Amino acid sequence: MKFLNGMTLLLIYQLVGEIGVQLLQWSIPGPVLGMLLLFLTLLLRKGALPSADVASTALLSHLSLLFVPAGVGMMVYFEHLAKEWLPIVVALVLGTVVTMAVSALVMQGASRLFSPETYRDG
Amino acid sequence: MADGDLTTLWVYLSASPLVGLTITLIAYSLGYRLYLYANRNPLLNPVVTAIAALIAFLQISGVSYATYFEGAQFVHFLLGPATVALAVPLYQQCAKIKKRLLPLVITLVVGAIVGAGSSVGIAWMLGASLEMQMSLAPKSVTTPVAMGISEQIGGLPSLTAVLVVATGIIGAVTGTTLFRLMRIKDDAVKGVAMGIAAHGIGTARAFQENKEMGAFSGLAMALSAFTSAVMLPWLLHVAGVL
């Protein structure tokens, strides 16, 4: 029952998020606003929402499954991808690794500088 | 049963959402078993094996992506509630996040610029079309936001969705090795880098490591969706691309 209540709660927050984004004409997706609202709720209630915990753990433990249908969409773009495969592959691989490395370095440097008490070197 | 009956049965079944949904779950659970069997080798990330197996199956059986998606959409739909669900680990790690707020904000801004700039720059240097460059620009942003940005800047939103998934897979596969080579041990640093570069798939990978890395990755993913949606169109305008 907790799982069902939790799922219902998540869907309600998503719905409120979608409506909010439409009404406010924001360019962020509804679920992101929904997440923000649920986060604020948890802050206000000091975190006592066991049903949300159960549903959240269940959904997030296999988060990567949820990306499979979109990934299979690759088959629709085979021609597109084949025609420009070199820039695509290099931009994807190199771009992603560079972004990750730079983000890690900046976060590491800024943490040492501004939050040295929480930073763990090893 | 005669051959004709089997064909009729297949025609009937392949038109119903049941097949698309079931094969998605079968492909993923087989992929996950393979991943566990190979001692969690990052190259055998279950998303990769599941997608490859499903594409092969659809190509051989001649089922179109649109038909497949009628069933698979039930899985795809759960991305929404899963995004909302990120609020829970976020709250649980709140105390740790608060202490890192300033570094996080700085990293988000730099990450959004490097994420879009590196992919557009590389694609441009190697002669990709403008449409492809724009479809690549939001590749590190979570799917629904990336599709919106792509449309706004003149890319193909559904192509962007595919590039976003590919980016996430690359980030998830290379991340832990990269951090080891860079000698980064701090979970907050690893999580933030993963979330900015590889959105939800990176976050899924981060949660496999531990809850702290997952929470920071989820937070970085959500916040970089905000910063990218605001900054990217403006940035490309300033860079003179648009």
Q: B162 and A42: CB-CB below 8 Å?
A: no
Residue for token pair 């959105």? B199
Alpha carbon B223 to its chain centroid, in Å, reads: 15
Q: Is A16 at the interface with chain B, CB within 8 A? A: no
- In chain A, what percentage of residues exceed pLDDT 70? 96
Question: Average pLDDT of chain B?
Answer: 89
pLDDT > 80? residue B110: yes
Q: B136 and A13: CB-CB below 8 Å?
A: no
- Report DSSP state, residue A73: G
pLDDT at A88: 94
Q: What is the model's pTM?
A: 0.83
pLDDT at B60: 94
**Residue in B85, B166, B189 nearest the CB of A108:** B189
Q: A107 and B193: CB-CB below 8 Å?
A: yes
pLDDT at B2: 59
- Asked whether A102 and B173 are in contact (CB, 8 A), the reply is no
pLDDT at A105: 96
Q: Which of B136, B203, B19, B216 is nearest to A108 (CA)?
A: B216
- Domain segments of chain B as ranges: 3-78, 85-238
pLDDT > 80? residue A27: no
Q: Which of A14-28, B40-54, B164-178 has the highest mean pLDDT?
A: B164-178
- DSSP letter string, B84-138: HHTHHHHHHTHHHHHTTHHHHHHHHHHHHHHHHHHHHHHHHHTT--HHHHHHHTT
pLDDT per position as a tens digit, A37-46: 999 999 998 8
pLDDT band at A29 (very low <50, low <70, confident <90, very high): confident
Tell me the two tokens of residue B30. 């087989």
- Domain segments of chain A as ranges: 1-61, 68-122
Q: A32 and B226: CB-CB below 8 Å?
A: yes
Q: Is B165 at the interface with chain A, CB within 8 A? A: yes
Q: CA quadruple B186, B139, A56, A71: dihedral positive or negative?
A: negative
pLDDT > 70? residue A78: yes
pLDDT > 60? residue B168: yes
**Residue in B75, B143, B225 nearest the CB of A65:** B75
Q: Which residues of B touch A7 (CB under 8 A)?
A: 81
pLDDT per position as a tens digit, B222-237: 888 878 887 888 888 7
Q: B24 and A53: CB-CB below 8 Å?
A: no
Nearest-CA residue of chain B relative to A46?
B91
Mean pLDDT, to the nearest integer, of B166-192?
94
- Asked whether B89 and A50 are in contact (CB, 8 A), the reply is no
pLDDT at A120: 66
pLDDT per position as a tens digit, B28-80: 999 999 999 998 887 888 888 999 999 999 999 999 999 999 999 999 899 88
